[in-house]
Each structure stands twice: as C-alpha cells, then as structure tokens.
Amino acid sequence: MYLSGFGNELASEDPRCPGSLPEGQNNPQVCPYGLYAEQLSGSAFTCPRPTNKRSWLYRIIPSVKHKPFTKASCGDLTENWNEVEPDPNQLRWLPFAIPKSTEKKVDFVAGLHTVCGAGDAKSRNGIGIHVYTCNTSMVDSCFNNSDGDFLIVPQQGEILITTEFGKMMVEPNEICVIQQGMRFSVDVFGETRGYILEVYGAHFELPDLGPIGANGLANPRDFLCPVAWYEDRKVSTGYTVINKYQGKLFACQQDFSPFNVVAWHGNYTPYKYNLKNFMVINCVAFDHADPSIFTVLTAKSTRPGVAIADFVIFPPRWGVADHTFRPPYYHRNCMSEFMGLIKGHYEAKEEGFQPGGASLHSIMTPHGPDADCFEKNSTAELSPERVAEGTMAFMFESSFSMAVTKWGLQTCQKLDKSYYQCWEPLRSHFNPNWKPSTHLNLLLLPIL
C-alpha cells in the first residue's frame, strides 16, 4: 500500500498500533505506546519553507543505539575519480554481468559498482553513477547513504525495498528514490541488475513546466510513498548497519532491526514512480525537440537552469514531425550524457546498445545516430508512427565532467571497444550543384 503525492506532507501509522502518532505536537514528554520520537532532517532547519524537508519517526528504539562504526570493504564502490587517465571517447558498455548464485552469493551492497562520477561528497557537490548486480537478498543488514540521494532504476528483476517508512516493491520500468540518510534493505528474487544515480548536496524535484502549464510530464500524484510498517525484532547474532560516508563504507552492529518505526509524518520520505505514467510532450509540426522535454526529475545546481543531474526518459510516443529527421540529432553538448536501456531497442542505435548496458558521451564529445539509422531515416516516407514502442531508454545528464573509474574502463570487461565503428560508414552526401526544389521555391515565394 502507498500514499500518493510528490513532496507532500504525509502521515502514516501501522494499523496494529492505532493512535501511535502524537496529536498536536511532534515531541511529547511521553509518546503513545512508549515510543521514541526521532526527527530525520533532509535540509537545514532554516531553509525556506518550500525546500524544507524533514520527517518525524516514532520508533521502538532510537537509531542512536549501536556499537561504533568501523571501516568496511568498499568493493567496487568508489569516489576516486583519478584512478585512471581521462578518456574523452564515446564509450559504450555491453550488459553488465550478473554473478551466478551457484558461484557466489552477492547482495545489493556487495553488488554496487561505480562506473563514473565527479565532484566530492565532502563538499556536498557532485554525482556518482553506479550499477548494481546481485542475486541474493540482504539478511540482517541495511544500508544508508550519508553522502546523498540514490535514484534507483531496476533493469532486470523486481526489488523489495524495506525502509524505515515502510516497504516498496519496485519493478523494471519503475524507479525509486531513497533520500539521504534513510536506512533500507533490499530483497531480490533471482538475478537482478539496475542503475543508480547518486547526487550530493541536492534533492530531486520535479522540473518547472514553464509554458507547458500546470499539467504534464511526471504528475505529482503518481509518485507513491510507503505506509508505516514495523518489526519489533531482536537480532542476537547482530544486525549490521552499513553507512556510506565521505565516499567510504563503514559498518556498525546493533541487536535490533532498524525497521521499528511504528508511525511517521513529514515530507521527507522515500518514493517510487512508474515510468508508464509519464505524460509525453513532443513535436507536432517540424524539427526534433530537445530531450529536456522528457525530464522526469531534476537535481538543481545553484546556477539557474543548470542541473547537477537530470533523469530523462525516452518513452513510447508518436512521431509526426513533417520535413524532419526524426531520430535524435547529431550533437556536441556542454553536459555529460550517461544512457542506459531498461528494455527494447533505442531508436538512434537499434544494434549494439543493449538492455543492461550503457553509454557515456562526455562533455563536448560528438555523438548521434549511427550510419544505418541516418540512411534509413533520411529517406523514409514520413507518416505518423509509433516511436520506441516496447522500449524504455533513459539518460542521466549532468553539468559535471565525469571521470570513468578503473572498474568501468577495465575491471568490468564490458567496454565495447568497437563502439566508434557504428559511425565509420557515414559518408558525404554533399552536392555542390544542389538546387532548391520547385516545391520549396513555392513555399518561399510569399516570404520573398
């Protein structure tokens, strides 16, 4: 069960404990049912009211009760952006390998691999892009990210995420956001893979709509938050809390489940969203609109109109533009573009870019349709057509110049070194003797 609305002030209590939310105040001398009151702040106390994020949790034992944190293995999770030399080439990865459960049990945290990123968690400014590949559920352990927010994009296999606020089932073609500091555990049901966009220092929000008006793109009511659920469970063998802090992992032990929140209220929660609910805006006359019209969520920087990161999708839609090359145009960009494919075939590269793989086109690195796509769409008879049917590609776009990790370039062994060859067959169509057609002359005559 879920509550709906993006960034709303919500309240929930486990039905097993009716009246567990205090009435009229946040921090009574004695909470109902003998619970502890604990505030989780996602913004400074003095932030303007529209950006002030916090929730009150009413829990059986407060989260402060734990043994000291000690360093834990980071595996392939890193914030070291200087492991290898920069690479400005167009990069594409084949589907990232999922470990076989018969060979090695790997849970969500152990299966985190950093592909690229930039910035610094200490200064609270930057991003990290990761993939997760796992085959087993987390047992008596949870994870929380003190550095920033996780936007999780499942690609293969549904994941059941238990949080302090309740449970969320997230399937491929859905996304979820676990905001900074929220503890969660992940159950999987087989070989599982997905992508993660991590942002430091900002929270995701809905993009401004401008002239679009009051409705469109991702509608606020389609975002879902979990309802309160708790377990009062002692763990005599020890429960492990794993904390990502300043780019490193630390672990501590406690003897109880952290999912002991009986009731909560506030506007700082985890949430999920089904991408099929996106209300697509597209060109209905001519030319190819910029992909910003497909922005689901944005994490804004301090520069107006410039994002730390945007989450953009390329959903099924109608293509109707006249006199237009309809696929994405050739492009050099002052932003970095990391793309992934959840299912189907991406319209600009129907071969080579596979579900579970990825590509990175760095700042000012040229990119665009492959040769086959250009030839096909330059001569196609234009009529209304469905585009990207059965497909869902997405993009993490960032103003940061991202560095690729050693794991991304070497260790994963999935880098497609033949990627550049998809553009090699492009040939010149230049004709110095070309003349405007009679049809075009007639169109221009009123202007002249």
Place of tokens 């470990």: 99
Same domain, 290 and 324: yes
What pLDDT was estimated at residue 439? 55
Which residues, other chains included, contact 295 with Cβ-Cβ below 8 Å and sequence gap of 6+? Answer: 207, 217, 310, 311, 312
Contact call for residues 402 and 129 (beta carbons, < 8 A): yes
What pLDDT was estimated at residue 271? 98
What pLDDT was estimated at residue 352? 79
Model confidence at 368, pLDDT cuts 50, 70, 90, reads very high
Same domain, 247 and 338: no
- Reading the block at residue 420, the tokens are 């550049």
Report DSSP letters for 12-54, one per residue. EE-TTSTT-SPSS-SS-SS-GGGPEEEEEESS-TTS-GGG--E
Report DSSP letters for 329-387, one per residue. PPB--SSEEEEEEEES-BTTBSSS--TT-EEEE-TT--B---HHHHHHHHHPPP--EEE
Number of domains observed in the structure of the chain: 2
130 domain residue, yes or no: yes
- Report the DSSP beta bridge partners of residue 318: 386
Same domain, 127 and 239: yes
Same domain, 266 and 339: no
* Interval 30-81: pLDDT, tens: 999 999 999 999 999 999 999 999 999 999 999 999 999 999 999 999 999 9
Model confidence at 437, pLDDT cuts 50, 70, 90, reads confident
**Beta strands at 54-59 and 36-41: parallel, antiparallel or unpaired:** antiparallel
Q: What Å distances lie between residue 7 and 40, 57, 177, 182, 210, CA to CA?
A: 15, 17, 12, 16, 19
428 domain residue, yes or no: no
Q: Rounded to an integer, what is the distance from CA 342 to the centroid of its chain?
A: 12
Same domain, 221 and 319: no
Model confidence at 269, pLDDT cuts 50, 70, 90, reads very high
CA distance 151 to 178: 7
Q: Is the pLDDT of residue 442 over 90?
A: no
What pLDDT was estimated at residue 423? 93
Nearest to 327 by CA among 387, 284, 279: 387
69 domain residue, yes or no: yes
- Reading the block at residue 244, the tokens are 């990502």
CA distance 364 to 404: 16
Same domain, 176 and 316: no
444 domain residue, yes or no: no
403 domain residue, yes or no: yes
What pLDDT was estimated at residue 232? 97
* Interval 141-167: pLDDT, tens: 999 999 999 999 999 999 999 999 999
What pLDDT was estimated at residue 425? 95
Same domain, 264 and 290: no
Q: Annotation-wise, does 367 bind a ligand?
A: yes
Average pLDDT over residues 109-126: 96
CATH of the domain at 11: 2.60.120.10
Same domain, 254 and 284: no
Q: Is the pLDDT of residue 22 over 60?
A: yes
Q: Is the pLDDT of residue 350 over 90?
A: no
Model confidence at 348, pLDDT cuts 50, 70, 90, reads low
Contact call for residues 354 and 341 (beta carbons, < 8 A): yes
Same domain, 209 and 318: no
Helices (H) and strands (E) in the chain, counts: 3, 28
Q: Rounded to an integer, what is the distance from CA 186 to the centroid of its chain?
A: 16
What pLDDT was estimated at residue 436? 85
Query: What percent of the chain lies above the pLDDT cut of 70?
Result: 97
Whole-number mean pLDDT of the chain?
94
Choosing from 256, 273, 290, the residue where a domain stops is 273
422 domain residue, yes or no: no
Report DSSP letters for 100-124, one per residue. PTTT----TTTTEEEEEEEEETTTT
Which residues, other chains included, contact 109 with Cβ-Cβ below 8 Å and sequence gap of 6+? Answer: 138, 141, 143, 242, 249
Average pLDDT over residues 380-398: 95
* Interval 294-303: pLDDT, tens: 999 999 999 9
Choosing from 273, 297, 319, the residue where a domain stops is 273
CA distance 167 to 149: 18
What pLDDT was estimated at residue 345? 86
Query: What percent of the chain lies above the pLDDT cut of 90?
Result: 92
What pLDDT was estimated at residue 139? 97
344 domain residue, yes or no: yes
Which residues, other chains included, contact 150 with Cβ-Cβ below 8 Å and sequence gap of 6+? Answer: 177, 178, 196, 197, 198
Average pLDDT over residues 128-137: 98
Same domain, 10 and 110: yes
Query: Which residue range is the domain that position 409 belongs to?
Result: 278-413
Has 288 been annotated as catalytic? yes
* Interval 77-99: pLDDT, tens: 999 999 999 999 999 999 999 99
CA distance 256 to 63: 10
443 domain residue, yes or no: no
Average pLDDT over residues 174-197: 98
Q: Is the pLDDT of residue 354 over 90?
A: yes
Neighbour count for residue 24 (Cβ, 10 Å): 5
Nearest to 41 by CA among 145, 167, 168, 179: 179
What pLDDT was estimated at residue 438? 63
Residue of 203, 288, 361, 439 marked active site: 288
Taking the CA atoms of residue 243, residue 245, residue 248 and residue 249 in that order, the dihedral angle to the nearest 10 degrees is -10
**Beta strands at 234-245 and 141-145: parallel, antiparallel or unpaired:** parallel
Choosing from 273, 291, 319, the residue where a domain stops is 273
Same domain, 323 and 268: no
Same domain, 264 and 324: no
Q: Is the pLDDT of residue 443 over 80?
A: no
Place of tokens 């020890």: 238
Q: Annotation-wise, does 346 bind a ligand?
A: yes
